[in-house]
Amino acid sequence: MDDLLDTEEETFGSMDLYDLLDLLDWTKAIGVGKPSKDTVSPNIPMTAKTIRFTDRFMREGRSELTPYDASEGSLYVLFLLALAMHAKSPNMFSIDNFDQALNPRLARSITKVFCDRIIEANKTAFITTHNPLVLDGLNLGDDRIRLFTVDRNLNGHTQINRVVVNEKLLETGNSLSKLWVMGMLGGVPNL
């Protein structure tokens, strides 16, 4: 995190820091520094450095939060972006339940940003999701971003099918999330 965050240049990896703060809309600032005994319980082991969030809605002097106080979703967004942008992260990896700990609209937004950063870093990521709005964050007009559904046939064999956005799908006027929920893309049980 420390090697991605540059508060002087106002960047997080290849992102403008303000774009990151837009994703974490409750934050006024993010920093990395030594943990303070005032903000971390003495029962928690301390590391040499920790992330600090400044909550824009809280009173001055009480607005600094540690990772222990911040939402799990905020930490997960930082984790996803670090995977996408950090030079030491693998060039190919997978993430199961990409949408975990994220509200649906944040899941959609981080999907778009994550895909952009993965492409920029020339990496490959395989992600799974059960959140329809994640699909709306995918730019399937870019052939480097692909969507697959996984189903089982009548014999129980796994079938993987690529979802190709074509005129027929576009004519429905529905988003990918709606098409998926309606069962038009596959990858959902016939309930």
- Domain parsing of the chain, residue ranges: 1-70, 72-191
Strands 124-127 and 92-95: parallel
pLDDT at 37: 66
pLDDT in tens, 136-190: 999 998 999 999 999 999 999 999 999 988 888 878 889 999 999 999 898 888 8
> Quick one: fold of 72-191?
Rossmann fold (3.40.50)
* Positions of the chain with pLDDT under 70: 1-2, 36-41
